[in-house]
Structure 1
Amino acid sequence: MIIILLILLLLVVLILNAFFLYIQKRGSKALGGGEAPKVKMDDGLVDKTNQFLKKSKQIWHIKSKFNGSKLIGWFTDNKSETTVILVHGFGVDHNSLNVHAQLFDSLGYNVLQIDDQAAGKSEGKYLGFGYIESLDLLDWIQRVLSERPNDKIILYGASMGAATVMLVTQYHLPKNVKLIIEDSGYTSAYDILSYHCQKRYHIKGKYLIKGISLVSKLRAGFSYAKTDCTKALAKNKLPILFMHGHNDFTVPFTMREKLLTCGKFPRMSYESQGVHIRSYYMDSKKYQDTVEKFLKMYL
């Protein structure tokens, strides 16, 4: 009987570890990462983005204080006193936000595009659902201030990057960090995994996710309890712009409604009929107007 129980326990551990690797290893497609919705960009956005990509960029490096991984970013210097740090989403790299980087570049701000842990040219084995990335974002903020100590800093994140910029608000941030823009962010790793378990596999997965979270604690250094954006926002004081699309089936629009009820801080909201992180593609004028209004109000 003991041998049978040990075998069953080993099987459970192996299964949970396999799920952990499927979800959190570099290049994971568990949440549709890398499978960008096919949405045609509004007229002019492709050309403007291509022009932005031709601009000279400085290559910046940092070493993660969390686990020592070497991380890389690309800095576009517009001789501005404001720098926007863009944080990408799950299973992609900084190039996924080139069109958004172009937006801030066109407004005259400096732009820092980063590759997160386990993405693009940065080192790292495991994705952090925003938790590891939020700790690394603190390091990137300090990297900006080491070069440009008087700059105002704007944090922009999309999807998991949006969770990242929300999670970072629970820490003590330098006064240079002025505001946050989140596009298509989820409430927590537990919530988004529960949603996809039900959507894709028609199971609730409550105990499965708890088990995977335990493996994540042992192998990646954090449990999913560390990824709760609602708890982080309860501590936040910075202005936040929440941007979501009604037809987002990667991060459901209902999560935006929950995020909007959290904390006591200045906020604005924007909504479109867009899919995941694609509102700017098909509603670029309203999207940009909203961003500019928010920046004018709070920067």
Structure 2
Amino acid sequence: MNKRTTALSLGITLLVLIAGTVGGSFYMLKYALSPENRGKDMAGSLTYMEEMYPQITPWVDSLQKAHALRDTFITAPDGTRLHAFYARASRPRKETAVIAHGYTDNAIRMFHIGYMYNRSLDYNILLPDLRYSGLSGGNALQMGWLDRKDVMQWIDTAPALFGDSIEAVVHGISMGAATTMMLSGEQLPAYVRCFVEDCGYTSVWEQFSKELKERFGLPPFPLLYTASWLCQWKNGWNFHEASAEKQIARCHKPMLFIHGDKDDFVPTWMVYEVYKAKPDPKALWIVPNAGHATSYLLYPEEYTQRVKRFVEDNLNDRP
């Protein structure tokens, strides 16, 4: 084989590798950020939640009967229409919970946490549908990074819903927990007093690296790098910058960290990393025998009491 033929062969091989990597990156981005989204099935989500958490059924029924569970919409700066449910406490109260849902979920799939705050603790609640979920617009999930800005916008609307003197906790599970940590590093209104994150990941890069290895047996290079560049081009953010761990290092408001010790989707080691990165004040509860996002399901009373103590210890403190 002469040098010319060898160079041509190498060139073709390189083009095939590049094409495969680019094609794989497009596939990965669609697979990860635009999956078939169960969060769009509102009726199915409510059925599922009432089967998993039967205690919420009379609460939801009573809210609906009284027309107390309401819809509200806002428009993001990029024109995306965003939806949330909200309900007021049984009497005028300043205590308010903003509740963020997980990956391929929706606000309805956080009704158990809404029940905890509204029914058990008698707080106002605001439950946004994140992008590409529920009744909100958007063509892709944003893994908490762009969602942090949307939740900040929801936080800004909360006084108009519940009164100017509110004091708020932000509580998220899974991707919603990552969203909570990511927004905690931003400049927030003084009425946001504290945070609860339940099984959130350290960063999109580390979570996707773990999934790429487990699901496809592939290392981060080169596919995760090119998919991250593609995400930057399509969505305006990349996997490296979408870091809860970096954001939380800038947060000086109280945060409660909750994570199951049997979580193999967002591995338990991640909570130790974000907890270490967070300045005081903070608290940590490692939940025995709990898998991913199952801590409330397994221990509803203890979960409620731990959250109640933490939030009430911090919600009325003035910065």
Query: 1:149, 1:225 → 2: CA distance?
Result: 37
1:27–1:119 CA contact under 8 A, matched in 2 = no
Go from structure 1 to structure 2 and tell me whether the alpha carbon gap of 1:123 and 1:295 turns closer, same or farther (over 3 Å shift): same
TM-superposed CA distance for 1:195, in Å, is 1.4
Question: Alpha-carbon deviations, 1:179-205, whole Å to 9, x = none?
Answer: 000011000011111112222233323
State the match for 1:87 in structure 2: 100
CA distance in 1, matches of 2:34, 2:223: 17
Determine the C-alpha separation between the residues in 2 that align with 1:101 and 1:146. 19
Measured against aligned partners, the alpha-carbon deviations of 1:149-184 in whole angstroms (never above 9, x if no partner) come to: 221111010000000010001211000100000011
1:117, 1:152 → 2: CA distance? Answer: 25
Equivalent pair of 1:26/1:125 in contact (CA under 8 Å): no
Alignment of 1:8-87 (within 5 A): 8-25=17-34, 27=36, 45-47=53-55, 49-54=56-61, 55=63, 56-65=68-77, 67-78=78-89, 79-87=92-100
- Give, as a single letter, the amino acid of the residue that structure 2 aligns with 1:233: I
Q: Which ranges of structure 2 fall in alignment gaps of 5 or more residues?
A: 1-7, 39-43
Whether contact under 8 Å (1:75, 1:112) holds in the other structure is yes
Matches within 5 A, 1:86-165: 86-105=99-118, 106-147=120-161, 148-165=163-180
Hey, which of these two has a bigger chunk of helix by percent? 2
**Alignment-mate amino acid for residue 149 of structure 2:** L
1:178 aligns with 2:193: yes
Conserved? CA contact 1:194–1:206, under 8 Å: no
**Would the alpha carbon gap of residues 274 and 178 (structure 1) be closer, same or farther in structure 2, given more than 3 Å must change?**
same
- Corresponding residue number in structure 1 for 2:5: none
**TM-score for the superposition, normalised by structure 2:** 0.84
For 1:107 and 1:39, the matched residues in 2 are separated by 20
SS of the residue 2:266 aligns to: coil
Give secondary structure in 1 for the equivalent of 2:143.
Answer: coil
Deviates more, 1:282-291 or 1:2-11: 2-11
Whole-angstrom CA distance in 2 between matches of 1:22 and 1:199 = 15
Instruction: Please give the root-mean-square deviation of Cα atoms over the aligned residues, in Å.
Output: 2.4
Cα gap change, 1:98 to 1:23, in 2 (>3 Å) = same
What amino acid is aligned across from residue 101 of structure 1 in structure 2? G
Determine what percentage of the aligned residue pairs are the same residue. Answer: 24
Contact 1:183/1:242 (CA < 8 Å) preserved in 2? yes
- 2:294 matched residue in structure 1: 278
Q: Which residue of 2 aligns with 1:247?
A: 262
SS in structure 2 opposite 1:61? strand
Aligned to 2:202, what secondary structure does the other structure show? coil
Question: Across the two proteins, how many residue pairs are aligned to each other?
Answer: 289
How far apart, CA to CA, are the structure 1 residues paired with 2:155 and 2:264? 31
Partner AA of 1:17 in structure 2: F
Deviation of 1:28 (Å): 5.5
Note the alpha carbon deviations across 1:37-74, whole angstroms, 9 max, x for none: x99999xx513x11221212121101112x32101001
Shift of 1:108: 0.7
Asked if the contact 1:39–1:278 (Cα under 8 Å) also holds between the matched residues in 2, the reply is: no
The unaligned stretches of length 5 or more in structure 1 are none
TM-score (norm 1): 0.90
How far off its partner does 1:116 sit?
A: 0.4
Distance 2:15 2:217 in 1: 30
Q: Which segment is superposed worse, 180-189 or 11-20?
A: 11-20
2:211 paired residue number: 196
